[in-house]
């Protein structure tokens, strides 16, 4: 059997673009036979991992949470009903798991949740390779949490505007326009800094 | 540095920031193997289990619940009670592919809400555990429910809405710290879901989710120091009780039209927050400021005094005293004093009342910890909750209006709401 790491190595891009019916077929197959879940796992694991990492900032905890998310997804899959939004469903599970993580961390540290969120490290700064990316990472970190979440869902999670809208309770148009404005705002602020 | 950062460049730069963290390939392989082991295990066990179905209920459930002679079905806003044999009477259920919602209690303190396709006797959707409340919209298109993300932790409750034909679920509240899950309600036409949010750094915000647009509108709340809002006499207005002056403890009932911003005082000298709609939103019961009267308001503006001279102190356990029967004409209401605890039936058309239960006399074993929680759809039974002094351990019973008997409900009982 080809392992996932081999499979990943053979990918020229991050993940193949699958049309909705294909994802639906993968979901149905996994519902009929849980061992077919591997296809879904392989298709979404990078998106989920990156999204989790963008929220928690270290690999060890990201691995723990990602494992929990996929285990939850596997267990809950029989109850999922095809509505054409499997990614939104998957990321709902992911967001809950991350929320659990922060709640537990808050309890452990006896800290106020807001304090924890406000004092999260500027995660993106770790990966910035150029001055431009460093500046961009700083600018993103200064954005309101809601907007940072949009960026994480879009660029780390690979979700469509529609899927993001479903997750955050806004219309597709509102997300699309908001994201466009956000990118323009970032570009404009970068120019000011330059 | 290139000063021209257009959106396409920005997308690439932002994408790079978010995608340059690669997972460890060993971890990915390990997790895949772990998932496959679990999947294999799951595929073997799911074939053996029919963890909930009507077959299970009747075959297994009946063995352990011989005393359970009735199954409780909630239809619409009330409880529909049928004998155990009549559940198989498809004429009751029209013989069609009827879906219904079941609130199951596998163990004390746990609630699992499921959607079941009745004719196929299979659970077609499980909303999950820790569901604390649910309500189908009046137009039967949506189901709203609140669910705790962590067991027994009300602070983690969120409100969700599911479109019943597609089963698409949307989370409505998004902040367990500020959004209140206790104060949500459908508009009379079923289009809107109202809820309140209490940010730590600003006054209360009233939010309305629109099922047509899928958007949440934040509306101006001129009465943020008032009671939580409920729907008004139409789908565009809200009702609040508000102090006439801060600290006065004198309250007025306001109607606020959030489309036009118009405000109107409907009643002076009312009890704070004591507002109870009939199920069809045609009649509203309000309590007078001194708690001694129950007043009935109707959409045409008419007001009548339903009950005078209610003894004090008022019953305020669980916050609700009036319960409308499904006929939208009759109500039950409780009166509890240091010496007495009564349940009366009250008729909206005449204001006449009759003593239904003298709890201390008829059911002294509950020592006053007795509360009427709901009506049956046919109006013949009441769901009664009893408990210890602190209501930390609850038991449910059915009270027959015909015989006056109280029948305990087995913990496996389900509440069902037919939605198609």
The pLDDT tens digits for B269-323 are 888 777 888 878 889 998 888 777 889 998 777 888 888 877 654 443 333 467 8
Chain A residues within an 8 Å CB radius of B168: 83, 85, 166
B110-114, B136-140, B293-297, B401-405: which has the minimum mean pLDDT?
B110-114
pLDDT greater than 70 at residue B175: no
- CA distance from start to end of chain B: 63
Whether B172 sits inside 8 A of A169 (CB atoms) is yes
pLDDT over 70 at B377, yes or no: no
Q: A74 CB near a chain B CB, below 8 Å?
A: yes
The residue ranges of chain A whose pLDDT is under 70 are 1-22, 81-84, 106-129
Interchain contact, B23 vs A59, CB within 8 Å: yes
Which tokens in the block code for residue A88? 């939104």
Top-ranked range on mean pLDDT: pick from B121-125, B375-379, B414-418: B375-379
Cα B122 versus chain centre, distance: 24
Count A/B contacts: CB-CB distance under 8 Å.
167
List of E strands, B18-140: 70-75, 78-83, 99-104, 112-117, 122-129, 131-136
Higher pLDDT, B403 or B183: B403
Dihedral angle, C-alpha B96, B102, B106, B109, nearest 10 °: 180
Give the residue from chain A lying closest to B149, CA to CA: A96
Residues in chain B with CB shorter than 8 Å from the CB of A137 are: 17
Residue A156 touches partner B, C-beta closer than 8 Å:
yes
Residue B2: its pLDDT value, please? Answer: 47
pLDDT value of position A152: 92
Mean pLDDT of B54-70: 26
Q: Do B43 and A34 touch (CB under 8 A)?
A: yes
User: In this model, does residue B110 exceed pLDDT 60?
Assistant: no
Give B25's pLDDT tier (boundaries 50, 70, 90). confident
Report CB contact under 8 Å: A74, B39.
yes
- Mean pLDDT rounded to a whole number for chain B: 69
pLDDT for the residue A50: 92
Residue pLDDT, tens place only, B324-333? 887 889 999 8
List CB contacts of B283: < 8 A, sequence separation 6 or more.
B277, B296, B297, B298, B324, B328, B348
Straight-line distance from the first to the last Cα atom of chain A, in angstroms, rounded to the nearest whole number:
51
State the pLDDT at residue B72. Answer: 31
Helix (H, G, I), strand (E, B) or coil at B386: strand
d(CA B312, CA B177): 36
pLDDT surpassing 50 at residue B20: yes
Which residue(s) pair with B332 in the sheet? B323, B345
pLDDT score at B181: 58
Tell me whether A180 touches chain B (CB under 8 Å).
Answer: yes
Distance CA B356, CA B383 (A): 14
Tell if the CB–CB gap between B9 and A187 is shorter than 8 Å.
Answer: yes
- The pLDDT score that the predictor gives to residue A47 is 92
The more confident residue out of B107 and B364 is: B364
Taking the Cβ of residue A70 and every Cβ of chain B, the question of whether any pair is shorter than 8 Å is answered with: yes
Q: Which residue reads 């459908």 in tokens?
A: B186
- The distance of B133 to chain A (nearest Cα, Å) reads 20
Under 8 Å between Cβ of B253 and B245: no
Which residues pair with residue B322 across a beta bridge? Answer: B333
Confidence of residue B152 (pLDDT cuts 50, 70, 90): low
Count CB neighbours of B224 within 10 A.
Answer: 16
Per-residue confidence (pLDDT) for residue B103, from 0 to 100: 53
Question: Which pLDDT score is estimated for A81?
Answer: 67
Distance CA A54, CA A140 (A): 12
Question: What is the enclosing helix (H) or strand (E) of B151?
Answer: none
Contact call for B214 and A140, based on CB within 8 A: no
Among B81-90, B94-103, B325-334, where is mean pLDDT lowest?
B81-90
| Contact between B25 and A8 using a beta-carbon 8 Å cutoff | yes
The secondary element (H helix, E strand) that includes residue A98 is: helix A86-109
Mode of pairing for the β-strands spanning B237-243 and B251-257? antiparallel
pLDDT at residue number B26: 84
Query: Which one has a higher pLDDT value, A159 or B145?
Result: A159
Least-confidence region, from A111-120, B152-161, B405-414: A111-120
CA distance A124 to chain B (A): 6
Give how far A152 is from chain B: nearest CA, Å.
7
- Chain A segment 84-143 residues within 8 A of B by beta carbon are 85, 89, 92, 96, 99-100, 103, 113-114, 124, 127-129, 131-133, 136-137, 140
| % of chain B beyond a pLDDT of 70 | 62
For the cut 80, the answer to whether the pLDDT of residue B395 exceeds it is no
- Per-residue pLDDT, B414: 42
Residue from the list B17, B27, B39 with its beta carbon closest to the beta carbon of A133: B17
Nearest to B170 among A4, A37, A169 (CB): A169
pLDDT value at B411 more than 80 = no
- Chain A positions in Cβ-Cβ contact with residue B25 (cut-off 8 Å): 4-5, 8-9
Mean pLDDT of B37-59: 44
- Yes or no, beta carbons of A50 and B21 under 8 Å apart: yes
Express as a percent the part of chain B with pLDDT over 90.
Answer: 5
Contact with chain B for residue A144, Cβ under 8 A: no
Quick one: tokens of B301? 């503006």
C-alpha closest to that of B54 among B126, B105, B125, B120: B120
CA distance A118 to chain B (A): 15
pTM for this predicted structure: 0.48
State whether residue B388 is helix, strand or coil: coil
The answer to whether B125 and B401 are in contact (CB under 8 A) is no
Burial per residue of A164-193, b for 16 or more beta-carbon CB atoms within 10 angstroms, e otherwise: bbbbbbbbeebbbebbeebbeebbebbeee
DSSP run (H or E) holding A174? helix A172-193
Q: How far is B82 from chain A (nearest CA, A)?
A: 28
Contacts of A72 (CB under 8 A, 6+ apart): A93, A97
Question: For the CA atoms of B144, B184, B160, A92, what is the dihedral angle to 10 degrees?
Answer: 180
Decide if A18 touches B, using CB distance below 8 A. Answer: no
Report, as an integer, the average pLDDT of B107-122: 54
């Amino acid at each position: 059997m080809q392992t996932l790491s081999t499979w990943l190595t053979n990918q020229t891009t991050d993940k193949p673009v699958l049309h909705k019916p294909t994802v639906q077929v993968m979901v149905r197959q996994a519902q009929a036979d849980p061992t077919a879940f591997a296809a879904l796992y392989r298709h979404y694991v990078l998106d989920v991992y990156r999204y989790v990492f963008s929220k928690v900032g270290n690999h060890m905890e990201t691995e723990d949470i990602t494992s929990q998310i996929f285990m939850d997804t596997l267990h809950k899959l029989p109850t999922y009903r095809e509505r054409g939004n499997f990614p939104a469903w998957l990321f709902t599970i992911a967001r809950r798991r991350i929320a659990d993580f922060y709640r537990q961390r808050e309890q452990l540290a006896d800290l106020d949740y807001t304090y924890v969120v406000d004092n999260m490290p500027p995660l993106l700064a770790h990966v910035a390779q150029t001055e431009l990316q460093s500046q961009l990472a700083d600018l993103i970190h200064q954005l309101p949490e809601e907007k940072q979440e949009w960026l994480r869902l879009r660029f780390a999670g690979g979700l469509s505007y529609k899927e993001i809208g479903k997750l955050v309770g806004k219309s597709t148009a509102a997300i699309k326009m908001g994201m466009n404005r956000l990118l323009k705002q970032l570009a404009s602020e970068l120019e000011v800094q330059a | 540095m290139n000063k021209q950062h257009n959106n396409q460049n920005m997308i690439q730069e932002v994408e790079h920031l978010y995608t340059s963290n690669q997972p460890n390939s060993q971890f990915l392989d390990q997790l895949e193997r772990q998932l496959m082991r679990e999947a294999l295990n799951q595929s073997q066990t799911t074939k053996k289990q029919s963890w909930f179905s009507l077959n299970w209920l009747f075959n297994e459930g009946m063995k352990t619940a011989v005393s359970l002679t009735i199954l409780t079905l909630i239809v619409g806003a009330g409880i529909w009670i049928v004998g155990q044999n009549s559940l198989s009477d498809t004429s009751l259920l029209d013989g069609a592919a009827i879906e219904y919602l079941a609130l199951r209690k596998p163990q004390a303190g746990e609630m699992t809400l499921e959607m079941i396709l009745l004719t196929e006797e299979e659970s077609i959707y499980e909303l999950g555990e820790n569901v604390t409340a649910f309500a189908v919209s009046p137009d039967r298109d949506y189901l709203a429910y609140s669910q705790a993300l962590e067991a027994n932790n009300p602070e983690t409750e969120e409100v969700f809405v599911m479109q019943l034909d597609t089963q698409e679920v949307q989370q409505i509240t998004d902040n367990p710290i500020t959004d209140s899950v206790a104060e949500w309600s459908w508009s009379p036409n079923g289009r809107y879901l109202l809820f309140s949010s209490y940010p730590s750094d600003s006054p209360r915000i009233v939010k309305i989710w629109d099922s047509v647009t899928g958007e949440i509108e934040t509306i101006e709340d001129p009465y943020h120091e008032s009671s939580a809002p409920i729907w008004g006499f139409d789908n565009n207005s809200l009702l609040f009780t508000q102090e006439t002056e801060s600290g006065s403890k004198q309250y007025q009932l306001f109607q606020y039209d959030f489309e036009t911003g118009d405000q109107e005082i409907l009643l002076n000298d009312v009890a704070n927050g004591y507002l109870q709609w009939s199920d069809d939103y045609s009649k509203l019961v309000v309590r007078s400021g001194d708690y001694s009267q129950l007043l009935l308001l109707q959409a045409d503006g008419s007001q009548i005094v339903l009950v005078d001279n209610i003894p004090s102190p008022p019953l305020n356990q669980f916050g609700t005293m009036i319960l409308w029967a499904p006929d939208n004409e009759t109500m039950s209401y409780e009166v509890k004093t240091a010496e007495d605890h009564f349940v009366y039936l009250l008729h909206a058309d005449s204001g006449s009342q009759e003593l239904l239960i003298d709890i201390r006399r008829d059911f002294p074993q509950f020592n006053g910890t007795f509360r009427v929680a709901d009506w049956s759809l046919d109006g013949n039974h009441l769901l009664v909750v009893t408990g210890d002094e602190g209501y930390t351990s609850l038991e449910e019973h059915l009270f027959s209006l015909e015989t006056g008997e109280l029948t305990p409900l087995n913990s496996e009982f389900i509440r069902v709401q037919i939605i198609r």
